[in-house]
Structure 1
Amino acid sequence: MAPATAQSVDEETPLLRSDGGDEFPGYDIVRVQSASSADGVEPTIQTVMTPEGNRSSCTNHGAAADSQKEEAYPHFINVTQRQFWAVFSGILFAWLIAMFDSTLMASIHPAITSHFNAANSAAWLSTAFLLTSTAFQPVFGRISDVFGRRPVYLFAVAVFFITTAWCATAQSITSFIAARAFCGLGAGGVVSAGMIISSDLIRIEYRGMYQSYINLCNGIGSSLGVACGGYIADTLGWRAAFGIQLPFIFVYLIISYFVVPTSLGPELARNEGWTLMQAAKTLDIKGSFLLITGVTSVLLTLNLGGSVLPWSHPVIIVSLLVFCFCLIPFLKIEARAKRPVMPLPLLSTFPQANLILSNFFGTMVINTILFNMPLFFQAVKLESLTSSGLRILASSLAIMASSVFTGFFITWSGRLKPMLIIGFVFFIIGCAVTSSMDRDTPGWLAMLFLLPSGFGQGFAMPATLVSTLAVSPQAEQAVTTTTLSLFRNLGSVFGVSVSSWTLQNALIYYLTQSVTGNNRQDIIKRVRQSITEIHLLDPIHQGEVIQGYEQALHLTFIVGVAWATMSLLLVLPIRLARLSRKA
C-alpha cells in the first residue's frame, strides 16, 4: 500500500490536521499555503497563532493582545525575549555537556576496555548508553505531555548527574556498562525535553536559526569530548573524564530549577484532573518495554554472534527468538495505543517517513565513522589517545561550521531540500575516502578525509529535523520530535553495533589470515582484548596485526557507503514547501 500523502490545495489549509485538537490545547497550528505547480508559485509554510481560548475566532477580544505580542516577539510563542533566552541558554548548556559525554566514548573507549581487558566488548560501552537513550526519549516526550516539561527535565538532569558519578567510580566492566545505560536514560531525557521545550517556544519559520545555536553547542561539545577526552585519559586517567563533568551538571541542575517555566506543555494530568494512576495509564508502558527488550535482543545477537559466541550458541538463538516474539505484539500495541512510543502513522506518511528513515541511516553512517576512526588511529597508526582525539577534532569543526551555516541558510532562504541532498552526498564521499586509508596514509591527509562526513552531518541532520517539523502540525511536534530522536538514536545504536559486528568478525578472519607463528592464537586473543598489546609485539607480528586491523576497518567503512546511499535515495523524491518568514 502506498504511503498516505499530506493534502495540498490551492487555498490556505491546515497541514494534516484542521485544528490543534482537544488533546493539545494552547498550541499553534502549522498551516501550509500551497499552489499547484501549474501556477508557478512555490508553496510556503506559515504558523498561525491559535492560543487556548481563542481558537474559534481570530477577531475576538484576545486577538489584539496576541497580535501585539507577536509583533513584539515574532520569533517566539507566548514568551518574552528575556524569558526565552533564560530558558534557551540553559538548553544550549545542557546540549554542550550531553554531547561532550556522548562523544567522549569515541576517543577513550579503547583505554577503558584495555583497563578491564575487555576490548571485544567495546561496543557495549556506547550501545548501552544509546539503547536507554533511544528507548526512553519517546517516553520522556509522552510523560512531559502529561505532567509538563519542567519536572521531566529536572528529573533527567538529576539522573544524568548521579549516573555520571557512577561511571567515574565503576570497578568492573559490567558495572561501567550498567552505569552508561542509566546515564543514557538521563542524557536522553535532557536532549529530548530540551528539543521539545525549544519547539514549544520557537515558531517554525525561525527554528532553523535557533537550531543553528543548538548545532553550534553540539559541535563544541562533540569537539571537546573527542579532543579533550583523549587528553584527559592520557594525563589524568579515564575516570577523570567523567568526574570533570560533575560540577558543570550540578550547576546546570540548580539553574534549570529556577529558569525553566512551570507552564510549558499540555500538562494533561493537571488540565484533565487525572490522578497519578490515571496519568500513568495514558503512557505506552507495554510498547516501551517491548521496544527495549526487542532492541536489546538484537544488540546481544550483533555484539556476541560470531565474535564472542558461535552463531549456534543458545544465547544467540534465544536472543533472536525474543526479538521475533517482541516484534508482532509491539506493532499491534503501537497500532492501538492512544499515545504510542513509536507512532506507526508517521512511518507510513509521505514525506515524514522518508525523512525519519533517512535520518536513521544517516546516523548509522555518523556512528560507523565516529566509533571506528579512533581505532584506526590507535591500532593502525599506533597513535596515542590524545593524538587520535585531535585528529577527529577536524571532523567536529566541520560539523560545527556546516551546521551553523545550515541553520542560517534555512532561515534566510526558507529552502530545506538542498541541504538534505548536499549532506547525504557528502556522507557517501566521506565513507568512500575513509575506506581508502591505510597505515601509509599521512596523518594530515587522514584528517582531511574526515571532513566530508563532518560536512555531511552538519548539512543533513539539522535540515532533517526542521523538515520533519515543518510538515507536522504544532500539536504533534512533541511526538514528532521524539520519534525523530528515537530513530536517530536507533541509528546510533545500530551504527555502532553493526559496524562493531562487521569489524570484529572481519578482524577474526583477517588476523587469522595474516598472523603467523606457533603462538598466533594467543596474539590474536591479546590484540582483540586490548589494542595496547599491539605496541608490545615484535616488528613482524606487529605489522601482521596492523594489516588485519587495516583490512577489517576498510570493510567496515565500505558498509557505511550503503547506509549513506540509502539516505540519499530516501530524500530524492521529497518535495518540501518553502518556509515563509514574518516581517
Structure 2
Amino acid sequence: MIKNDVKVLPTDRMATADHVHEDGAETTESQTDERTALLSKGSDAKHPNVPYRDVISGRRFHFLFWSIIFGCTIAFFDTTLMASSHPVITSYFNASNAASWLSTVFYLTSTVTQPVFGRVSDTIGRRPVLLFAIVMFFTSTAWCGAAVDIGSFIAARAVSGIGAGGVVSLASILTSDMVKIEYRGIYQSYYNLAYGVGNGLGAALGGFLCDKLGWRAAFYIQLPFIGVYGVLAVLSCPDDLGPNLAKTQGKTIREAFKSFDAYGTIGMILTVSGLILGVNLGGNVFSWTHPIVICSLVLAVMAGIGLVFVEHRAERPILPLRLFTTIPVANVIGSNFVASMTVNAVIFNVPLYLQAVRQTSPTVSGFYLFPPLVGASITAIASGVYITVTRRMKPPMIIGSISALGGAIAVTCLGADTPIRLVPWLIPFVSVGQGFFFPAATIAVLALNNQEDQAVATTTLGLVRSLGSILGVALSSWILQNALPIYLNKYVTAPDAATKERIIRSARESIRSIHNLDPKHKTQVIEAYASSLRATFVAAIIFATISAMLILPARIPNLQSQADMDEPEDGVFLPEDMPGDESTSSDEDDDEQALLATPARTITRTTTGGTSRSRTLSRRSTSFGEPIERRASFDISI
C-alpha cells in the first residue's frame, strides 16, 4: 500500500487549467480543442438512472437504437448468406476454386474501411457517414443479384463489404455514443441477438432461396429491407451525435480533415490488401513463387513497417499503436483476432463438408448452421447480462475460449462415416464460444479506453476481427485447396491418366459433379474431401489454442460506471514528495494560498489497472521512479 499526499486543484480549476497561456490569460469557453469537443457531452448528471447518456433524449434513443439493430440484422444476414450459398454461386459460374474470394473480398473491404468510417464520423458527424454506408449497401446488393460473371460478382461483393461494414461499425459507434458503459452489457446483448437472428436467417434461408428461387433472389429480397432501414436512419439519427469536430471547432470540412491520417489510411489499406492477396493467390490460383504472390507479400511487409512509423507520429492515428502495446488491451485485441480466425475457418468449411461429403442440399446445410448461430446469440445475451450484473468481464472470455477450442476439436471428428445424428452436436461449440467471448471483449476494450477514444477503439476492434475473419477463410481455403489435389490423387483410381485427371478436375471445379459420378469414384472423391477438410479443421485447433493462451494470463479489471469514466483527468497533481519537477512546483505556493480557506477531507480511491486514470498516474509516478500499486490511498486536500 502506497500512501501519497496529493494536492488537486478544484474541479472548476481543472476544467480551465489546461487553457492558460504563458501570459496568464485564460481562454474563453468557445476556444475548444479536439479533446474538449470530444468530452463536451460526457456529463450525465441530469439522468443518473437511465441507460442512455445526455447526448440524446429517451424517446429518440430508443427509436435510433432499434433502427440500427434492424440494420445490423440485415447486414449480418447478407454476410452469412454466403456461407450456405457460395457453393451454388461458384458452381453456377463454373468457378468453385474461386469460392474463397466471395467472402474474402467482402471482409477485405469491410476491414480496411471500418477505421476510416470511425475517424470520418468523428470529423463530420455520424449521420452523413451512416447514410453513405446504407446507400453503398443497397447499391452493391442490387449489383450482386445482377452480376453476369464471377468477376462482376466478386467486385459487387467488394463494394458490399464497404456498405455492410459501415452499417455494422456505425451501429457500434452510435451505441457507444448513446449508452452508458455500465449498461453496455445489456445493449450489447440486443446487438448480439441481431447477430444471431441475422446470421441464422442468412445461413438457413440462403440455401433455401438458392434451391427454390435461385441465388439471385437471395440478394434482391434484401433490397426492400435495406430501403426501410435507410428511411429509419434519416428519421432517427440526429445531426449533432458524435464529436463532429468540424462543427464544434468552428472549422470547414477541409480544415478539419487536415488532421486526418491520410498516410496511415493508405498504409493500412496496402498492408491488409497485400497480405490478403498474397495468402489467397499463393498455392490456390498461382504458385507461391509467382511474381504476383511475391509482390503482394513484399508490399504487405513494407507497407506494414511504414505504417508503424506513420502511426507513431500521426496526430489522430487511424490505427493507434497503443491499443496493440498496452496490456491488457493488447491481449484482448490479439485474442479476438485469432478467435475470429477460428470461428470463420470452421463456419466457412462446415457447409462444404455437408454438401460435398454428406451430399446434402444447400437448404439442408443452411439449416445445420442455424442452431450454432442461435446458440451464439443465446450465450451472447447471457454474457451481456452477466457482465451488467457482476461487472466482471474475464469469466465469459475464459469460457468462450475453452468452448471454441473444444468446438475446433469436435469438428475434426467429422468424416465420411460420422453418424448423421452426431453431426449437429459436433458443429455448434465454436459459435457458442464466440457468443461468450466477443461481447465481453467488446465491452472490455471500451471500458479500458476513455470516452473520446470510443470510436477508434470500436473500429480498431472491428478491423482486427474482420482481418481475423479474412485470414481464417483465406488460410483454411488455402489448406483445403492444397490438400484436396493430394488426397484426390491418392484416393481416385482410373484405368488411364486422362480419365483420372478429368474426374479430379470436375470434382475441384464443382461439388455438384460428385452426384454424377459412378458409385466407386463418388466414394473416392468424398473420402478425399473429408480428409482435406479434416486437415483444415486441425488448423482451427491451433488458432483456438493461441487465442486461449493470449487471454488466460490477462488481468481484466471490473467494469466501472460511466460517471467514473467521465471524471475529469486533467487535474494538476502536486505530490509533495516528488522533488525535481519544476513544472508542478513553480506554481505550488500560489495554489496553496488559493486553497487555504477550503477545508480538507480524505478520499480513498481505487485505481484499476489498465484504466485511463491508472495509466495517467502510472506515467507520472514512473517519471519519478515510484511505482503505483493496484490499490492506493490518497489524502487529497480540496
Same fold per superposition (TM over 0.5): yes
CA RMSD of aligned residues (A): 2.2
1:314 paired residue among 270, 288, 291: 291
Q: CA deviation at 1:148?
A: 0.4
Query: 2: distance between equivalents of 1:9 and 1:428?
Result: 46
- Aligned partner of 2:76 in structure 1 is 99
Query: 1: distance between equivalents of 2:525 and 2:316?
Result: 52
- Aligned partner of 2:368 in structure 1 is 391
Query: 2: distance between equivalents of 1:8 and 1:309?
Result: 65
2:48 paired residue among 54, 57, 70: 70
2:277 paired residue among 297, 300, 310: 300
2:553 paired residue among 552, 561, 573: 573
* Residues 127-138 of structure 1 mapped to structure 2, 5 A cutoff: 127-138=104-115
> Is the CA contact (8 Å cut-off) linking 2:46 and 2:54 kept in structure 1?
no
Query: 2: distance between equivalents of 1:481 and 1:8?
Result: 36
- Aligned partner of 1:36 in structure 2 is none
- Aligned partner of 1:283 in structure 2 is 260
Query: 2: distance between equivalents of 1:345 and 1:10?
Result: 30
- Aligned partner of 1:60 in structure 2 is none
Structure 2 residue identity aligned to 1:352: V
Structure 1 residue identity aligned to 2:526: I
Assess, with a 3 A threshold, how the Cα gap between structure 1 residues 10 and 181 changes in structure 2: closer, same or farther.
farther
Question: Does residue 94 of structure 2 align to residue 117 of structure 1?
Answer: yes
> Is the CA contact (8 Å cut-off) linking 1:94 and 1:252 kept in structure 2?
yes
Q: CA deviation at 1:256?
A: 0.5
> Is the CA contact (8 Å cut-off) linking 2:394 and 2:556 kept in structure 1?
yes
Question: Does residue 34 of structure 2 align to residue 23 of structure 1?
Answer: yes
Query: 1: distance between equivalents of 2:175 and 2:546?
Result: 30
Question: Does residue 480 of structure 2 align to residue 469 of structure 1?
Answer: no
> Is the CA contact (8 Å cut-off) linking 1:77 and 1:200 kept in structure 2?
no
1:562 paired residue among 542, 555, 564: 542
Question: Does residue 58 of structure 2 align to residue 81 of structure 1?
Answer: yes
- Aligned partner of 1:274 in structure 2 is 251
Which digits, 9 at most, give the CA deviation of each residue in 1:116-141, with x for residues without a partner?
11111101000100000000000000
- Aligned partner of 1:233 in structure 2 is 210
> Is the CA contact (8 Å cut-off) linking 1:26 and 1:266 kept in structure 2?
yes
Query: 2: distance between equivalents of 1:376 and 1:540?
Result: 19
Q: CA deviation at 1:22?
A: 4.1
Question: Does residue 269 of structure 2 align to residue 258 of structure 1?
Answer: no
1:337 paired residue among 301, 314, 324: 314
Assess, with a 3 A threshold, how the Cα gap between structure 1 residues 272 and 121 changes in structure 2: closer, same or farther.
same
- Aligned partner of 2:527 in structure 1 is 547
- Aligned partner of 1:211 in structure 2 is 188
Q: CA deviation at 1:567?
A: 1.0
Assess, with a 3 A threshold, how the Cα gap between structure 1 residues 81 and 263 changes in structure 2: closer, same or farther.
same
Structure 2 residue identity aligned to 1:577: P
Structure 2 residue identity aligned to 1:438: G
> Is the CA contact (8 Å cut-off) linking 1:424 and 1:456 kept in structure 2?
yes
Which digits, 9 at most, give the CA deviation of each residue in 1:333-364, with x for residues without a partner?
12111222211111000011110011101111
> Is the CA contact (8 Å cut-off) linking 1:131 and 1:292 kept in structure 2?
no
Matched residue SS, 1:266: coil
Query: 1: distance between equivalents of 2:339 and 2:33?
Result: 36
Assess, with a 3 A threshold, how the Cα gap between structure 1 residues 74 and 400 changes in structure 2: closer, same or farther.
closer
2:156 paired residue among 179, 200, 211: 179
User: More displaced, 401-410 or 304-313?
Assistant: 304-313
Assess, with a 3 A threshold, how the Cα gap between structure 1 residues 348 and 120 changes in structure 2: closer, same or farther.
same
Q: CA deviation at 1:27?
A: 5.0
Which digits, 9 at most, give the CA deviation of each residue in 1:274-320, with x for residues without a partner?
33332333222222223222222222222222232222222222222
1:526 paired residue among 480, 499, 506: 506
Query: 2: distance between equivalents of 1:548 and 1:94?
Result: 41
How many aligned positions are there? 538
Which digits, 9 at most, give the CA deviation of each residue in 1:372-413, with x for residues without a partner?
000000000000000000011110111111111111111111
Q: CA deviation at 1:322?
A: 2.1
Query: 1: distance between equivalents of 2:308 and 2:93?
Result: 39
User: More displaced, 202-211 or 514-523?
Assistant: 514-523
Query: 2: distance between equivalents of 1:67 and 1:22?
Result: 23
Question: Does residue 538 of structure 2 align to residue 538 of structure 1?
Answer: no
- Aligned partner of 1:31 in structure 2 is none
> Is the CA contact (8 Å cut-off) linking 1:139 and 1:284 kept in structure 2?
no
* Residues 130-169 of structure 1 mapped to structure 2, 5 A cutoff: 130-169=107-146
Query: 2: distance between equivalents of 1:210 and 1:396?
Result: 19
> Is the CA contact (8 Å cut-off) linking 1:76 and 1:203 kept in structure 2?
yes
- Aligned partner of 2:393 in structure 1 is 416
Matched residue SS, 2:251: coil
Query: 2: distance between equivalents of 1:10 and 1:465?
Result: 36
User: More displaced, 134-143 or 300-309?
Assistant: 300-309
Q: Which structure has the larger Rg over C-alpha atoms?
A: 2
- Aligned partner of 1:351 in structure 2 is 328
Structure 2 residue identity aligned to 1:549: Y
Query: 1: distance between equivalents of 2:3 and 2:155?
Result: 49
Structure 2 residue identity aligned to 1:554: R
> Is the CA contact (8 Å cut-off) linking 1:76 and 1:84 kept in structure 2?
no
- Aligned partner of 2:630 in structure 1 is none
The normalised TM-score by structure 2 is 0.81
Query: 2: distance between equivalents of 1:172 and 1:117?
Result: 10
> Is the CA contact (8 Å cut-off) linking 1:131 and 1:493 kept in structure 2?
yes
Query: 2: distance between equivalents of 1:195 and 1:305?
Result: 35
- Aligned partner of 2:350 in structure 1 is 373
Structure 2 residue identity aligned to 1:268: L
Structure 2 residue identity aligned to 1:278: E
Q: CA deviation at 1:453?
A: 1.0
Matched residue SS, 1:248: helix
1:405 paired residue among 365, 373, 382: 382
Structure 1 residue identity aligned to 2:551: V
Q: CA deviation at 1:442?
A: 2.7
Query: 2: distance between equivalents of 1:571 and 1:22?
Result: 37
> Is the CA contact (8 Å cut-off) linking 1:363 and 1:492 kept in structure 2?
yes
- Aligned partner of 2:480 in structure 1 is 503
User: More displaced, 329-338 or 403-412?
Assistant: 329-338
Query: 2: distance between equivalents of 1:283 and 1:551?
Result: 49
Query: 1: distance between equivalents of 2:386 and 2:148?
Result: 48
Point out where structure 2 has 5 or more consecutive residues left out of the alignment.
Answer: 9-13, 19-31, 564-638
Q: CA deviation at 1:520?
A: 1.4
Query: 1: distance between equivalents of 2:256 and 2:166?
Result: 19
Structure 2 residue identity aligned to 1:254: V
Query: 2: distance between equivalents of 1:10 and 1:308?
Result: 67
> Is the CA contact (8 Å cut-off) linking 1:100 and 1:225 kept in structure 2?
yes
Assess, with a 3 A threshold, how the Cα gap between structure 1 residues 500 and 22 changes in structure 2: closer, same or farther.
same
> Is the CA contact (8 Å cut-off) linking 2:181 and 2:560 kept in structure 1?
no
> Is the CA contact (8 Å cut-off) linking 1:216 and 1:400 kept in structure 2?
yes
Assess, with a 3 A threshold, how the Cα gap between structure 1 residues 144 and 460 changes in structure 2: closer, same or farther.
same
Query: 2: distance between equivalents of 1:488 and 1:227?
Result: 24
